[in-house]
Amino acid sequence: MFTLLARSDRPLLDGKPYLAAAMGLGGTIGIGWLVGSRWLTDHLNKDEYGEIVRAFDGDAKMTQRPYYLVAFAAFVLVLGSVGVIVSYENMPRLAVAGCYSALFGLAVYAVLGSVSLGLMTYRHSTRASRVRTIKEQAARDSRLQKSARASTGEQGG
């Protein structure tokens, strides 16, 4: 019939420019999400929404885990790209193809994970803003009630 994998003696395309791009992409994503993780931690420690999150996740490990996973995958992408660039000439064709596949998978994971983390961070910010708005509205209503009581107390007395 047909074979899924046929042996070929053709050389692979030179992937060094792609590996260099993967190093830049991985470094940017990794550092970016470590900073994003720190921002989220600081943000959750200073407001009421953070208190709600801490009720379910006291040490913030569950909240931080997705950020660390994507950053770890991005840094593995960088290290793997460096390793393949350094040992490219000494590796068999099948090993180079396998490394390309693994690095491509890591790059896709890092990019799609970044999209997911961006949306998750946006949702956290939106929820924190909603909680802050509710608190401000309650404080405003309380001030209006106090001023209404004070004005009716002055008129009645």
* pTM (2 d.p.): 0.76
Structural domains of the chain, count: 1
pLDDT category of residue 103 using cuts at 50, 70 and 90: very high
d(C-alpha 38, C-alpha 48), whole Å: 18
Segment 105-148, tens digit of pLDDT? 999 999 999 999 999 989 888 888 888 899 899 999 999 998 88
The residue range of the domain holding 104 is 16-156
**Residue at 151 is within a domain:** yes
Tokens of 53: 């999150």
pLDDT category of residue 4 using cuts at 50, 70 and 90: low
Within 10 angstroms of residue 4's Cβ, the number of other Cβ atoms is 4
On whether the CB atoms of residues 91 and 12 are closer than 8 A, the answer is no
Segment 13-72, tens digit of pLDDT? 788 888 999 999 999 999 999 998 888 888 778 777 778 887 887 787 888 899 999 999
d(C-alpha 87, C-alpha 15), whole Å: 12
**Residue at 7 is within a domain:** no
**Residue at 2 is within a domain:** no
d(C-alpha 18, C-alpha 10), whole Å: 19
